[in-house]
Amino acid sequence: MRAPQTVPRDGLPRQVTVYEVGPRDGLQNEPAIVPADVKAAFIARLAAAGLRTIEATSFVRPEWVPQLADAEQVLGGLDLKGDVRYPVLVPNMRGLDRCLDLGVRDIAIFGSATETFAQRNLNRSVSAAIAMFEPVVAKARAEGIRVRGYLSMCFGDPWEGDVPIGQVVTVSRQLLDLGCDQLSVGDTIGVATPGHVAALLAAFGQAGIGPDRLAVHFHDTYGQALANTLAALECGVTTVDASAGGIGGCPFAGSATGNLATEDLVWMLHGLGIQTGIDLAALVETSVWMARQLGRPVPSRVVQAVAPRPEE
């Protein structure tokens, strides 16, 4: 398989952590239910390709996201004590208790920078959601569990339009103050541009929140995900969320299309001489395999460019 020519660029990190979200954020938006054994095989293939953080599933209520109703079954087939981390998205204390019963070591909570999406996604206000998360984070930390916070609608909201940078920083500060180890800043509907990314990250810095506590989570709705990622790297961010093949979206925001494809991200990072620990050829193979399970091509441009054609 062709690999990118390596041409390093000054001012970028030497190593980046790719936070794989395909099994959770990717598959939650699929119209058909993917069997648990296929999900487990997908996760195993991602780990074999070198991914070391793979968000495995979510303990949301099945009627909200039926695609992830088999969370216990999927987690039951994973080695939760090995060197690969398998975070689980939890909405509340009940979800955390289920994680504790299974031996999960990493969880994530999911908040919103805007009131409308908070109501649509969590059926409560932003402040009420923060209050709901507080005992979850406290108990998780007391149990030695690493906690990540997601903040959605950081660059735009389909109902409220533009989202003020100060508003995003304020809600982010509240999530971090709960005790989250890391905050993933989400462009849920894919409307961010590089200047906007740089301005938001600068505002975080002015608020005393350094890039070491942040990750970025871009959707590629307007084709800006890679450009926005590069802008974040230039600002010192070293953790980037991505989904194998570019699958995914958000079931609660109809205009949110696929995530940044992990292959496209890794191609760019390797071309810049940035270490990821990921075998790109094995990752492409995994997404080609997953495309067959889903019965459709995956959006990743790298997969489309380098994967063998059926006649080959």
CATH code, 134: 3.20.20.70
Assigned domain for 292 exists: yes
Q: Distance between CA 36 and CA 46 in Å, rounded? A: 15
Among 173-182, 214-223, 265-274, 300-309, the minimum mean pLDDT is found in 300-309
Whether 21 shows a pLDDT value over 50: the answer reads yes
- Tell me the mean pLDDT in the region 140-145: 97
pLDDT tens across 27-65, in order? Answer: 988 888 899 999 999 999 999 999 999 999 999 888 888
Determine the pLDDT at residue 251.
47
Determine the pLDDT at residue 272.
98
Assigned domain for 10 exists: no
DSSP code, position 309: P
Assigned domain for 85 exists: yes
Which residues fall within 8 angstroms of residue 99, CB to CB, at 6 or more apart?
Answer: 59, 88, 90, 107, 145
The distance between the two most distant Cα atoms of the chain, rounded to a whole number of Å, is 56
What is the span of the domain harbouring residue 266?
17-306
The torsion of the CA quartet 194, 183, 81, 20, rounded to 10 degrees, works out to -20
Assigned domain for 311 exists: no
DSSP code, position 22: I
Determine the pLDDT at residue 309.
62
User: Using CA of residue 290, residue 291, residue 295, residue 298, what is the dihedral sign?
Assistant: positive
Assigned domain for 239 exists: yes
Determine the pLDDT at residue 31.
83
How many helices and strands in the chain, by DSSP H and E? 11, 8
Determine the pLDDT at residue 254.
47
Active site residue 250: yes
CA triple 222-224-305, angle to 5 deg: 95
Domain count, the chain: 1
Assigned domain for 283 exists: yes
Q: Which residues pair with 110 in a beta bridge?
A: 150
- Secondary structure in 3-state letters for 241-307: EEEHHHCCCCCCCCCCCCECEHHHHHHHHHHCCCECCCCHHHHHHHHHHHHHHHCCCCCCHHHHHHC
| Location of structure tokens 């389909």 | 158
180-218 burial, b at 16+ Cβ within 10 Å, e below that, comes to bebbbbbbbbbbbebebbeebbebbeeeebebebbbbbb
Assigned domain for 44 exists: yes
Contacts 24+ apart (CB under 8 A), 74-77: 74/23, 74/36, 74/39, 74/40, 74/43, 75/102, 75/104, 76/102, 77/36, 77/37, 77/40
Q: Which of these is catalytic: 99, 154, 180, 250?
A: 250
pLDDT level of residue 10 (50, 70, 90 thresholds):
very high
Whether 250 shows a pLDDT value over 70: the answer reads no
Nearest to 216 by CA among 281, 170, 172, 253: 172
Whether 229 shows a pLDDT value over 90: the answer reads yes
Average pLDDT, the chain: 94
3-state SS, residue 172 = helix
| Higher per-residue pLDDT: 257 or 11 | 11
Q: Where are the beta strands (DSSP E) in 55-162?
A: 57-58, 88-89, 106-112, 146-152
Among 197-201, 204-208, 307-311, the minimum mean pLDDT is found in 307-311
pLDDT level of residue 253 (50, 70, 90 thresholds):
very low
3-state SS, residue 9 = coil
Assigned domain for 1 exists: no
